[in-house]
């Protein structure tokens, strides 16, 4: 279990309020951990705001988790209306603002909490902080980092970093329970469970080093109201039929290297426009490919949401010794874990593919040889 420094604990207790940040391209884990921290601090009378690079996605993950809390309520036992105020007040704290503001209601001694990221990975806010009205708060003692991505050299703040953790939500759960002393109610349990389940691929990435703690904590969250099957459904159900079309086309055109260790998936611009970026497959595609015999590494080069931007995600199999995080850090803005990482660059699609091929040592084979060997 993660060890929490005294300095970290003290600062959390002393702070009058908190600016909470999530990483760029927000996912269930960073949103859940931020919402849970905000909610738990609220229980202690400390107000907070959640700053996000992408309000649409943040609200989407937030709403999906709330829908589980609503649907998962057993009639007659707990009334979801009991949580209505909490839901609303947390939702109000997710700010859509493009610029950082100094909010008076956070008191005169606020802290900055980075959930699932470092100050440098807080999207557009990362550059703003030093020039913003909250720059005075941005000091070593005021910055708390809760992250399970590898440490990246010297940065501002007091760190709680543990690469062994399943998710930032798991780390936040320990902070909330053991440092803040806030009990897990249904709201906290569902959000924290969602982050853990999502980042662990519904527990399939659990490794021996920490899995026992992850499962024990998850059991505690389920006992306190998290709903596993509905969490899975909220994360994965409701796809458009176009998603399957996109998936089928990409799978048909996968390139394998000579030894079939690397599966290279190249996005298709036509499909991207026809099916819509929201229908582009990700997790399903990775699961199909990395469970294919011999495949060790899956690299997916994608068109970014803005013109000229190329995104790339890398996943590796359980037995792989390829370090996806190390590979992605060779690119500007790249980062992640050993088994799951990504980067984002600006440039030509084909140039990025060439660079990926060069750096992975991918040796392609003529198409005719790729037929079921």
Q: Which residues bind Mn ion (CB under 5 A)?
A: 29, 116, 167-168, 199
For the beta carbon of residue 13, count every other beta carbon within 10 angstroms. 12
Query: For Mn ion, which is the closer residue by CB, 20 or 266?
Result: 20
Query: For Mn ion, which is the closer residue by CB, 121 or 243?
Result: 121
Question: How is residue 262 written in tokens?
Answer: 């690397």
Rounded least distance, CB 81 to Mn ion, Å: 31
Rounded least distance, CB 231 to Mn ion, Å: 16
Rounded least distance, CB 278 to Mn ion, Å: 21
- The most distant pair of C-alpha atoms in the chain lies apart, rounded to whole Å, by 68
Rounded least distance, CB 151 to Mn ion, Å: 15
Rounded least distance, CB 298 to Mn ion, Å: 19
**Three-point CA angle 2, 21, 301, nearest 5°:** 90
Euclidean distance between CA atoms 104 and 233, whole angstroms: 40
Task: Please name the residues in contact with 350: beta carbons below 8 A apart, sequence gap of 6 or more.
Answer: none
H or E stretch at 262: strand 262-266
Rounded least distance, CB 142 to Mn ion, Å: 23
Rounded least distance, CB 35 to Mn ion, Å: 14
Rounded least distance, CB 121 to Mn ion, Å: 11
Distances (CA, A) of 223 to 27, 77, 217, 228, 229: 24, 14, 10, 11, 14
Residue of this chain nearest to Mn ion (CB atom): 29
Query: For Mn ion, which is the closer residue by CB, 199 or 296?
Result: 199
Query: For Mn ion, which is the closer residue by CB, 24 or 167?
Result: 167
Rounded least distance, CB 161 to Mn ion, Å: 12
DSSP string, 276-343: -GGG---HHHHHHHHTSTT--EEEEEEE-SSTTEEEEEEEE-TT----HHHHHTTSTT-EE-SSEEEE
Burial class (CB in 10 A: 0-12, 13-18, 19+), 366: exposed
H or E stretch at 36: helix 28-43
Query: For Mn ion, which is the closer residue by CB, 205 or 261?
Result: 205
Closest listed residue to residue 129, CA positions, set 116, 119, 121, 115: 119
Main-chain phi, psi angles of 126, to 5 degrees: -55, -45
Main-chain phi, psi angles of 91, to 5 degrees: -60, -40
Report yes or no: 337 and 116 within 8 Å, Cβ to Cβ: no
Closest listed residue to residue 55, CA positions, set 88, 81, 92: 92
């Amino acid at each position: 279990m993660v060890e929490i420094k005294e300095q970290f604990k003290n600062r959390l207790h002393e702070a009058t309020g908190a600016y909470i940040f999530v990483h760029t391209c927000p996912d269930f884990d960073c949103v859940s951990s931020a919402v849970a921290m905000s909610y738990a601090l609220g229980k202690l009378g400390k107000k907070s705001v959640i700053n996000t690079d992408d309000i649409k996605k943040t609200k989407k993950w937030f709403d999906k988790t709330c829908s589980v809390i609503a649907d998962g309520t057993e009639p007659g036992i707990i009334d979801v209306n009991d949580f209505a105020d909490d839901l609303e007040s947390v939702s109000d704290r997710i700010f859509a603002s493009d610029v950082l503001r100094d909010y008076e209601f956070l008191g005169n001694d606020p802290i900055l909490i980075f959930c699932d990221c470092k100050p440098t990975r807080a999207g557009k806010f990362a550059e703003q902080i030093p020039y913003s009205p909250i720059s005075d708060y941005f000091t070593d003692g005021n910055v708390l980092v809760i992250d399970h991505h590898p440490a990246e050299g010297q940065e501002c703040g007091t760190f709680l970093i543990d690469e062994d953790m399943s998710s930032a939500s798991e780390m936040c759960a320990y902070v909330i329970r053991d440092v803040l002393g806030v009990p897990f109610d249904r709201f906290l349990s569902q959000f924290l469970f969602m982050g853990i389940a999502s980042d662990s691929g519904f527990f399939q990435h659990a490794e021996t080093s920490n899995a026992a703690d992850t499962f024990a904590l998850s059991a505690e969250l389920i006992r306190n109201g998290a709903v596993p099957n509905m969490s899975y459904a909220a994360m994965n159900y409701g796809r458009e039929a176009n998603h399957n079309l996109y998936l089928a086309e990409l799978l048909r055109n996968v390139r394998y290297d000579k030894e079939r260790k690397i599966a290279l998936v190249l996005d298709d611009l036509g499909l991207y426009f026809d099916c819509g970026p929201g229908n582009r497959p990700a997790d399903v595609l990775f699961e199909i490919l990395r469970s294919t015999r011999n495949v060790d590494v899956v690299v997916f080069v994608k068109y970014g949401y803005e013109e000229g931007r190329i995104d790339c995600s890398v996943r590796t199999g359980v037995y792989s010794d390829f370090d996806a995080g190390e590979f992605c850090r060779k690119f500007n803005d790249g980062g992640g874990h050993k088994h799951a990482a990504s980067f984002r660059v600006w440039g030509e699609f084909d140039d990025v593919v060439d660079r990926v091929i060069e750096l992975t040592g991918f040796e392609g084979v003529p198409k005719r040889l790729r037929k079921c060997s």
